[in-house]
Structure 1
């Protein structure tokens, strides 16, 4: 039986799916089928030509009982690479599954920054146990990284870089790269330091290759390097790498000594995490940095219910406004039918304005001192949108209600509400940003409340002015 399976496996590399997604789907399905048949040699052969990231995805797609089996099929070198790509929950499960030296060896050989990120996700007692079993050098390095604030550049940096001195020759620097390439995170940049490890400048690998071997590094060193400190927020580090198109960014301590680098692959993870956090915040959901779909259900409910309660309580103000104007609603019942239309449209307009402003703040597309200009621009845009929408809704309201004054009340109110919503949607994010709050998390509920309460108040006030004396 196993022989037949192995024959089939030799044909797998000849299959040419049209996309990488199709290839990953094929590997995952084939791997599960082979493990179900207990064809371990075939499963191992299947994984040989597959990239580590794709192997990790295939393992994550397996039933939990098969994940450890599939991981054990990998060689030690492959296992180290694949382990770094696995979701933290599966990394933890593998540690608990084996509790033996083989997995501890893998953790010991992980990149320091990846290891620190893993430890952030593990229970404290597990971290303590693993730290005690790491080699002395790796234990010291990991403890150093874990000592920095969670969202800082120091926490996400790696100390695996290549440093050189100015008085070295190009030939000596190339020899140093050859000797340290296997233990360095990146070789495309060299970092020039003085005797006290103060950062002086940087040299690119390209500059080294095109220079003469006998030249001194001081002749090609780029002075005034761009760097961040260990306490710098990781989002700021990500923005610098994006702005200058760096592959890596040096990190210095409080005394300007080079202590590590941040690489572009880690920045991509930060950008994804921060974008996910902002999207959740716009929906009034606190992510807490966790994988939402792997979070305990009661934790999910607890995080989501907070803002829902706040909105529930604040929206009672809308009910209060309606009760205060219920006389006009009793006189002209048709007015009530258009309240959802008005507040929903206002909410949508406010959401559009807040979204563009919040995104602009997050990517530094909005410069300091331009707040009022942006708010004015969005408010004018809201007015133009309101004019177009109010014309349409006035005609539609007259068709539905058959009352010209009701239709005019709806149209005029919609114009005022869109202007209000655009102003609130663009101004509130700036306000909360200046106050030190997360504009994405804070803006949505307050914009909703402001548009609902004031929108209904505007509508019923306009209706009362136009219709109050006609009944």
Structure 2
């Protein structure tokens, strides 16, 4: 869009921009250089300039910023026949959705009517008698992700946006919500991969920008993983007596990391889709801990048998087997607990993603493994 705008003649650019709906125009202006935006705004018609300025006045990623002021609102005293005539007169100037909005003289939102209900209603009946007073709406400062969730939850194709006095200011339509859901999901996936998300297309970034996005989290992970080095350095005596212990470190931390990532993924997704809204945190944690215990018991038993068959050392086998059981339980619990903790602190649970869960499990897993080895092998 930016490339096209820059290549158009001024007259062509203004004609196109002037005919874009206000919400799409505001979104485009957010992406364009300020110099071009100022030039385009100055040449818009007065009505379109005011509509655009209204939207740009709201904070980014809020309902006010993404709403369109092009909607059909009708006074409550109109009859169904009068309303139909009014709609015909203004249809080409408004963004018609499935819903019509009923307001009073001060533009306060009173109710909603579907086009179907208006068409089948008796022609002499007033809108006040037809309308649905049970309204789902958003405020201008409502976060756009919450707007998308509301429309998902109630299967809406448009959502009215009001101010604190319940005055109708605009509507958010389903096409905008689909874009929001895609952007929010992409942002969560980037966070879960420990990549900084700044809203732009990752694959359009330069090599420097790609490195900039990825290096901060990787540096944090390196610093936290140094803890495993310190832990292992404190158990040199155990490793010297049973060198084979080192063979199973990748297996233990790998299994633990994967189990933790699985738990974190389902919890983070459940939080983002509101599936866990009515679930009690202690029950969720207990569920994951029990699941981890069952998984650990199965994997630990199989690993114990495999090590005993191939290595023939009982103390080593039991150490690896018990360690695996405990690590899987801790991993499952941590993978669920840390995103829930972040969510309770009003932080994005996606930040507590697979790489961080894996790091936590690695540190705890190594500590458990060598403590057990010290008890069962060094001091049997």
TM-score, reference length from structure 2: 0.97
Structure 1, unpaired ranges of 5+ = 1-90
Aligned to 1:180: 90
Which residue in the other structure is 1:155 paired with?
Answer: 65
Following superposition, the deviation at residue 180 of structure 1 comes to 2.0
2 CA distance for matches of 1:326 and 1:266? Answer: 59
How far 1:378 moved relative to its partner? 0.8
Match of residue 164 from structure 2: 254
Q: 2-side partners of 1:182 and 1:291: how far apart?
A: 35
Aligned residues: 380
Is 1:452 equivalent to 2:371 in the alignment?
Answer: no
1:198 counterpart residue number: 108
Question: Does the C-alpha gap of structure 1 residues 412 and 217 become closer, same or farther in structure 2, counting only changes over 3 Å?
Answer: same
Distance 1:219 1:361 in 2: 40
Given that residues 281 and 340 in structure 2 are in contact (C-alpha distance below 8 angstroms), is that contact kept between their aligned partners in structure 1? yes
Answer yes or no: is 1:112 the counterpart of 2:22.
yes
C-alpha distance in structure 2 between counterparts of 1:455 and 1:126, whole Å:
56
After superposition, residues 3-402 of structure 1 pair within 5 angstroms as 91-367=1-277, 370-402=280-312
RMSD of Structure 2 on Structure 1 (CA): 1.3
Aligned equivalents of 1:204 and 1:406: distance in 2? 71
Give secondary structure in 1 for the equivalent of 2:160: strand
Task: Judge conservation of contact 1:343–1:451 (CA < 8 Å) in 2.
Answer: yes
Question: Offset of 1:99 from its aligned partner?
Answer: 4.1
Is 2:332 the counterpart of 1:422? yes
Q: Hey, what's the Cα distance between the residues in 2 that align with 1:327 and 1:235?
A: 54
The answer to whether the 8 Å contact 2:265/2:353 transfers is no
Cα distance between partner residues in 2 of 1:310 and 1:412? 30
Distance in 2 between residues matched to 1:440 and 1:237, nearest whole Å: 19
1:347-391 Cα offsets, whole Å, 9 max, x none, are: 110011111111111111112561111111111111111111111
Aligned-pair CA distance for 1:100: 2.2
1:296 Cα deviation (Å)? 2.6
Matched residues in 2 for 1:93 and 1:446: separation? 40
- SS of the residue corresponding to residue 352 of structure 2 reads helix
Q: Is the CA contact (8 Å cut-off) linking 1:169 and 1:217 kept in structure 2?
A: yes
* Within-5 A mapping of 1:398-413: 398-413=308-323
1:211-270 per-residue CA deviation (whole Å, 9 max, x = no partner) reads: 122221111011131111000111111111111111111000122110000111111111
Q: Distance in 1 between matches of 2:363 and 2:372?
A: 14
Q: Is the 8 A contact 1:181 1:187 kept in 2?
A: no
Q: Is the 8 A contact 1:166 1:217 kept in 2?
A: yes
Alpha-carbon distance between aligned partners in 2 of 1:122 and 1:326, rounded to the nearest angstrom: 59
Compute the displacement of 1:128 (Å). Answer: 1.4
**1:435 and 2:345 aligned:** yes
Contact persistence 2:191–2:353 (CA under 8 A): no
Residues in 2 aligned to 1:400 and 1:180: alpha-carbon distance in whole angstroms:
82
* Structure 1 residue 442: Cα displacement: 3.2
Question: Does the residue aligned with 1:262 lie in a helix, a strand or coil?
Answer: strand
Deviation at 1:193, TM superposition (A): 0.4
Quote the offset at 1:118 in angstroms: 1.0
What SS class does the counterpart of residue 223 from structure 1 fall into? coil
* Contact in 1 for aligned 2:256/2:365 (Cα 8 Å): yes
- Asked whether the equivalents of residues 334 and 401 of structure 1 are also in contact (C-alpha less than 8 Å), the reply is no
Structure 2 residue matching 1:260: 3-state secondary structure: strand
Normalised by the length of structure 1, the TM-score is 0.79
